[in-house]
Structure 1
Amino acid sequence: MSQVAFQVSREQVLEITQEVFTAMLDQGETLTFERFEPVPDFADPLFAWVEMHADSEFGAFTGRAVVKTETETAHEITRSLLMLAPDEEVTEADLTDAFGEIANVVGGNVKALIDAVARLTLPQVGATPPAEDNAMFLQDLAIDWRGRVLVVSLWVLL
């Protein structure tokens, strides 16, 4: 595996996240911005991630895109994506599908930046992060969306 084959800039991650949220959640309005203040500790975190498996001139490698936020923010993302009323209950299945889809589309756009043929796994969603064993952290980007905080992280699995 090679980190050289998985170079994605912070600006690219921000642009991808803004495009995804603008198109999928905010009816064409950009409400997603880089956060420059410290990221608060998430009291009730939720994680969604996808992995990208690729074969390149540098060899085979796997990357991972992870989106982390408060569970309540993931509920708001779900309401927005599914066009639910603000007071409408979010089911566990809807939460998993919607928040997973956000990670899927962000990861898919990151995958498109890889200079190799790559495939994307199905998204996973959980209250705990994916295992970091044999994983090398590349970068994260804190995001403000509608006054809420998310973090998009990129990893290479070794």
Structure 2
Amino acid sequence: MTAGFELEELGHYVEDEALLQIVMQMWDSFFSTVEPPYPAFEPIGAEGPVLCASVSISGARPGLVTVTVPQATASALAAVMLQEEALPEDEVHDALGEVANIVAGNVKALVPDAGSLGLPVLSTATPRLGNGAAEVGRMDAVWRDGWLSVIVWLS
């Protein structure tokens, strides 16, 4: 039992299908000029240079939402989102952070007693979480020559 909640219970708040819907609605709003990502049949392992944007959720059920992509995919996503080519690294980071923030805001709405969202944090590796966190939702997809992985952890 973690913080008074069974881990199996946490998965009912953010099911994979709900996470897919959140990502596709975000895609329709910010990336509608390009083809959508295609859900992968298996989880995608983060290989090569990646960029990971994570946003924390506070409250009775704290958690973390991560969006991980290859660095080249991050640049392509930012170019589409901002409708510009050849963006500087800080703008690519800001765009991926905004994607994670949008997804986290929608995930937060699904979790009862959720507190506030943290600011997006960018890294070149996926975060390592403690024993109290459980992966409760995951969406892996293929887009163009890359992939994206959106994972929700709750404690």
TM range (shorter): 0.7 to 0.9
- 1:63-119 Cα deviation digits (max 9, x unpaired): 11111110000001111111113xx2x212101110000000011111111122421
The alignment of Structure 1 onto Structure 2 pairs a total of residues equal to 148
Calculate percent identity across the aligned residue pairs.
28
Q: Unpaired runs of 5+ in structure 2?
A: none
Q: When you count strand as a share of all residues, which structure comes out higher?
A: 1
CA RMSD of aligned residues (A): 2.0
TM-score of the superposition, structure 1-length normalised? 0.83
- 1:108-141 Cα deviation digits (max 9, x unpaired): 1111111224211011111022231243222322
Q: Quote the Cα distance in structure 2 between the aligned partners of 1:36 and 1:93.
A: 32
Is 1:128 paired with 2:125?
A: yes
Aligned to 1:137: 135
Q: Unpaired runs of 5+ in structure 1?
A: 55-59
Q: CA deviation at 1:146?
A: 3.5
Aligned to 1:77: 77
TM-score of the superposition, structure 2-length normalised? 0.84
Is 1:119 paired with 2:116?
A: yes
- 1:8-67 Cα deviation digits (max 9, x unpaired): 11110000001111211224x66123112563552111111101112xxxxx22111111
Given that 1:22 and 1:32 are in contact with CA atoms closer than 8 Å, whether structure 2 keeps it comes out as no
